[in-house]
């Protein structure tokens, strides 16, 4: 069984509080092997990783949604510590204009690093989706969002799983096992005794798990499209009340986005420091969700969520 697990290392907005650190999410994909991603890297992220008992050296890919300090200021420290711990493997840092900002960060100070920090620019224009990372069992996709500065959202999408149905195969006269099924999975179709067999003729498709992280954004079509039918949408909800137009999403707007995208569960994060009562926020979220059928949670630091 595979799973996507997210640990919230920081859930505040621009200014930290005693209970909420700056944004960062430690995401593990557990399949045939564990692979770790970091979504945003606010100030003190490495300390949060230590407190959570997680392993920062497992991180090979860091995805920055945008270059406001509360989302990237922890990068400098974590790079330095990785170097002190004798890291050798390259580290990939993704984000809008990544080459510009990663170059600045890696040039600060005198310490030389024993590993490569490789920036990966992410398209932040238009409405299209861009595949950034292709692994055996999942991929990471980005889409531009609306925040006043170049910004993107990220999606971790497990690949759909093909399950051969023995009854369907038997009805077509296929053997119980053999190379034919490998060919079908690899190519989608193959010839068998003069007949063309398609993968859909002998299998069922199990949709892969899907987790989406909005980063900071106003409501926008591109986010709704990226989040479509997500198992979990981690959503900017800086404000729990109606505000004059700002470059963020409020509670009502977040619920509307989740409904339009038809997500199963939404977790609200990037909470303004004006809100101090977790219980009250959870009550407001539950009331706002109403009859939508969507499970809505309010993130807190060190919350762990799994998609299994």
pLDDT tens string 100-148: 999 999 999 887 889 999 999 999 997 799 999 999 999 999 999 999 9
Same domain, 67 and 183: no
Domains of the chain: total:
2
Same domain, 60 and 109: yes
- 204, 236, 256 — which closes off a domain? 204
pLDDT tens string 26-82: 999 999 999 999 999 999 999 999 999 999 999 999 999 999 999 999 999 999 999
- 171, 204, 237 — which closes off a domain? 204
The token pair that represents 232 in the structure block: 């979990």
Active site residue: 40, 70, 236, 301, which one? 70
The token pair that represents 102 in the structure block: 């990663």
- 149, 178, 204 — which closes off a domain? 204
Same domain, 149 and 172: no
CATH number (domain holding residue 64): 3.60.15.10
Q: Are 134 and 61 in contact (CB under 8 A)?
A: no
Same domain, 189 and 212: no
Alpha-carbon dihedral angle through residues 267, 269, 272, 275, given to the nearest 10 degrees: 40
Same domain, 199 and 211: no
Residue 279, burial from CB neighbour count under 10 angstroms (0-12, 13-18, 19+): exposed
Q: Which are the contacts of 44, defined by CB distance < 8 A and separation ≥ 6?
A: 10, 16, 21, 22, 74, 77
Same domain, 199 and 212: no
pLDDT tens string 152-207: 999 999 999 888 888 888 888 888 788 888 888 888 888 888 889 888 888 888 89
pTM, whole model, 2 decimals? 0.92
Same domain, 150 and 167: no
Residue 196, domain extent:
162-204
User: Catalytic: 201?
Assistant: no
Residue 28 CA: distances (Å) to CA of 13, 36, 50, 135, 215: 23, 5, 16, 13, 18
Same domain, 36 and 76: yes
Same domain, 292 and 147: yes
Same domain, 59 and 198: no
Same domain, 179 and 244: no
Same domain, 93 and 194: no
């Amino acid at each position: 069984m595979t799973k996507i697990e997210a640990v919230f290392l920081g859930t505040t907005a621009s200014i930290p509080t005693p209970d909420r650190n700056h944004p960062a999410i430690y995401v593990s994909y557990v399949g045939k092997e564990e692979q770790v991603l970091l979504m945003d890297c606010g100030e003190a992220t490495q300390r949060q990783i230590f407190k959570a008992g997680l392993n920062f050296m497992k991180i090979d890919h860091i995805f920055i949604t945008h270059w406001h300090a509360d989302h990237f200021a922890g990068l400098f420290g974590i790079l330095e510590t990785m170097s002190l711990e004798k890291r050798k493997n390259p580290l990939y840092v993704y984000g809008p204009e990544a080459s510009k900002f990663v170059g600045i960060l890696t040039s600060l100070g005198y310490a030389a690093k024993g590993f490569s920090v490789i920036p990966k620019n992410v398209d932040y224009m238009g409405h299209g989706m861009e595949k950034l990372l292709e692994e055996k069992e999942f991929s990471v996709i980005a889409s531009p969002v609306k925040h006043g500065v170049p910004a993107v959202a990220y999606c971790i999408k497990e690949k759909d799983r093909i399950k051969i149905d023995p009854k369907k195969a038997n009805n077509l006269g296929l053997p119980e096992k053999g190379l034919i099924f490998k060919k079908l999975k690899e190519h989608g179709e193959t010839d068998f005794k003069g007949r063309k067999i398609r993968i859909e003729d002998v299998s069922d498709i199990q949709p892969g798990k899907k987790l989406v992280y909005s980063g900071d954004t106003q409501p926008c079509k591109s986010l709704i499209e990226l989040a479509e039918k997500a198992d979990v949408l981690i959503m900017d909800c800086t404000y729990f009340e109606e505000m004059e137009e700002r470059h963020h999403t409020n509670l009502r707007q977040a619920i509307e986005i989740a409904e339009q995208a038809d997500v199963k569960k939404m977790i609200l994060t990037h909470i303004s420091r004006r809100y101090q009562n977790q219980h009250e926020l959870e009550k407001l979220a539950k009331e706002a969700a109403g009859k939508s059928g969507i499970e809505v949670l309010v993130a807190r630091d060190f919350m762990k969520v799994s998609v299994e």
